[in-house]
Amino acid sequence: MPTRELLAEFSQQLNLNTYLTAILLQRGIDTVDKAKDFFRPSLKHLHDPFLMKDMEAAVDRLRSALISNEKILIYGDYDVDGTTAVALVYRYLRGLKAKCEIYIPDRNKEGYGISQAGVEWAAENNFSLVIALDCGIKASDMVMLGSHKGLEFIICDHHLPDDKIPNAVAVLDPKREDCPYPYKELSGCGLGFKLLQGYASRYEDESTILQYIDLVAVSIASDIVPITGENRILAHFGLKKLNEDPLPGLKALREIAAIKNELDVSGIVFYLGPRINAAGRVAHGSAAVDLLTAETDEEATVLAEGVNIKNDLRREFDASITEEAIALIEGDDVLREAKSTVLFKNTWHKGVIGIVAARCIEKYYRPTVILTESNEKITGSARSVNGFNVYEAILHCSDLLEKFGGHKYAAGLTMQRENLEAFRERFEDYVSRTITDEMTVPVIEVDTPIVFDRITSKFMSILKQMAPFGPENQRPVFEASRVYVINSLTTFKDRHIRFQAAQEGSENIFQAVGFDLASHYELLASGSTFRMAFTIEENVFNGNTSLQLKVKDIKAE
């Protein structure tokens, strides 16, 4: 926490109360200029795309392809980040009358990344330039194969590279060690945006790319990248467009998900992202791209209905496989007591194993790898807990793997079946040696204690300006003590609680809701005071807006 003197001084400079000032200081916003930039995001603060390694070469190659009317293949991953990136670049280039087509690999037949089947298809169909989005940084062999077949590549990827960078015309990846670009956390779609920004700044009206910025916001939210720096600016303006004038496909998804209120980052994560992802998870990702590139509301509505059906199917797979996974853990003493979870079943659907890994973490809170069989190999998804780098753990097992890639908290991997037990043992050994006790317990980080009297509509209006919220700029969590239930304590769906909360010494009373917190019912009903961690949100009901406390945890005093 900042010192009292610093807090008071900065609070006075900003003309803000100390609670909000403390939150800013904790997030590294320690000057008036930084505060202005934070509260007033501006597209003028986006970095020059030509600061990125290879951007000059990428823009030059794209320009020559457009002038020569070459066939351009836009190649992307099948998840939300990949499909939004492909839709963004395809829509923009089609607007320039480019001769371009889309290729999304089949999750089950080809797997993640640039595939041999994709390269051969591109060559057979007389493409000369491939723009790879959200994949390609580890595809040196496929780029080499492509070059033998007359293909050149521009790679736009945000995953961690190997020691060897593919020998492409251009490799745009801020995580390259030799890339001086000042912001390292762009999404795959964000990198596609930077490529188009670079091109448009040289040859077109740069503002034309903003008509697709809602796609960038969807990718940022869904790929769980930090909401800081450029991502925060792109998410801010992308959400504005998504709520005011969305592309037909995103508009149709909003309508089919029955979203009436303004969408924020968490709204994308819960409602739009899973529906876009579902196409590639249970069928083929091209259905999502068709939706995102739809030109009319009528076409988009039909396509959204198809994607929604796939999402319902994805939910069924997700629920049944999660149930099986938990039963496997509960039925095995060794698995139950382990520091990690590594589960394999050859009948599990490849498209939902990442979701199942996340569900297992919700219950057991430890690094988790869920594996299935695909094309006679074992393939899977890894997810992690706060503070533990699961990518490093998988890297430690890399000699047992055919391929792998990902981030600190999520990764994918493929291996031969005979390596499964060795992988399970080595992964568990690495996790048990390196994970700390603190990492094995979910922690709710509180930004600042607060008294109910300070929670007002004016306070909320400033709090809202700290959005968009997400990784590294989470919605502030407050803590209040001497809280008690004044009225209307109820449970619903046997899991959740709702009540009117009051605080000793305060006149303000708030509706409070706690999801998956019904276990605290007896404490709340006893009349005792308690400590409560919560976020503050607006609740809109029948046209009326009120402040509501979303409870994160409750502790007896």
pLDDT digits (tens, 9 = 90+) for 124-157: 999 999 999 999 999 999 999 999 999 999 999 9
Residue 497: phi, psi to the nearest 5?
-130, 150
The structure tokens listed for 341 are 């979870």
Residue with tokens 């994160």: 552
Query: What is the value of pTM for the model shown?
Result: 0.90
Helices marked H in 396-479: 420-434, 457-464
What class does CATH assign to 331-440? alpha beta
pLDDT band at 258 (very low <50, low <70, confident <90, very high): very high
Q: pLDDT averaged over the chain?
A: 94
The structure tokens listed for 150 are 């007359």
For 378-404, how does the pLDDT look when each residue is reduced to its tens digit (9 = 90+)? 999 999 999 999 999 999 999 999 989
Report the percentage of the chain scoring pLDDT > 90.
85
Task: Please count the helices (runs of H) and the strands (runs of E) in the chain.
Answer: 21, 16
pLDDT band at 326 (very low <50, low <70, confident <90, very high): very high
Report the percentage of the chain scoring pLDDT > 70.
99
pLDDT band at 114 (very low <50, low <70, confident <90, very high): very high
The structure tokens listed for 323 are 């149930």
Whether the per-residue pLDDT at 284 is higher than 80: the answer is no
Q: What is the pLDDT of residue 74?
A: 98
Whether the per-residue pLDDT at 317 is higher than 70: the answer is yes
Residue 277: phi, psi to the nearest 5?
-65, -35
For 49-96, how does the pLDDT look when each residue is reduced to its tens digit (9 = 90+)? 999 999 999 999 999 999 999 999 999 988 999 999 999 999 999 999
Mean pLDDT of 303-317: 90
The structure tokens listed for 132 are 């790879």
Contact 431, 412 (CB under 8 A): no
Mean pLDDT of 25-35: 93
Q: CA-CA distance, 267 to 246, in Å (whole number)? A: 15
Q: What is the pLDDT of residue 545?
A: 87
What class does CATH assign to 444-556? mainly beta
**Range name among 187-196, 269-278, 430-439 with the lowest pLDDT average:** 269-278
For 404-437, how does the pLDDT look when each residue is reduced to its tens digit (9 = 90+)? 988 788 899 999 999 999 999 999 999 999 999 9
DSSP 3-state assignment of 120? Answer: helix
pLDDT band at 106 (very low <50, low <70, confident <90, very high): confident
Q: What is the pLDDT of residue 425?
A: 97
The structure tokens listed for 370 are 């869920």
pLDDT band at 451 (very low <50, low <70, confident <90, very high): very high
Mean pLDDT of 276-284: 78
* Architecture, CATH, for domain 49-306: Alpha-Beta Complex (3.90)
For 218-252, how does the pLDDT look when each residue is reduced to its tens digit (9 = 90+)? 999 999 899 999 999 999 999 999 999 999 999 99
What's 454's DSSP letter? G
pLDDT band at 443 (very low <50, low <70, confident <90, very high): confident
Whether the per-residue pLDDT at 280 is higher than 90: the answer is no
The residue length of the chain stands at 557
For 38-50, how does the pLDDT look when each residue is reduced to its tens digit (9 = 90+)? 999 999 999 999 9
pLDDT band at 1 (very low <50, low <70, confident <90, very high): low
Is 261 or 457 the better-scoring residue by pLDDT? 457
Whether the per-residue pLDDT at 283 is higher than 70: the answer is no
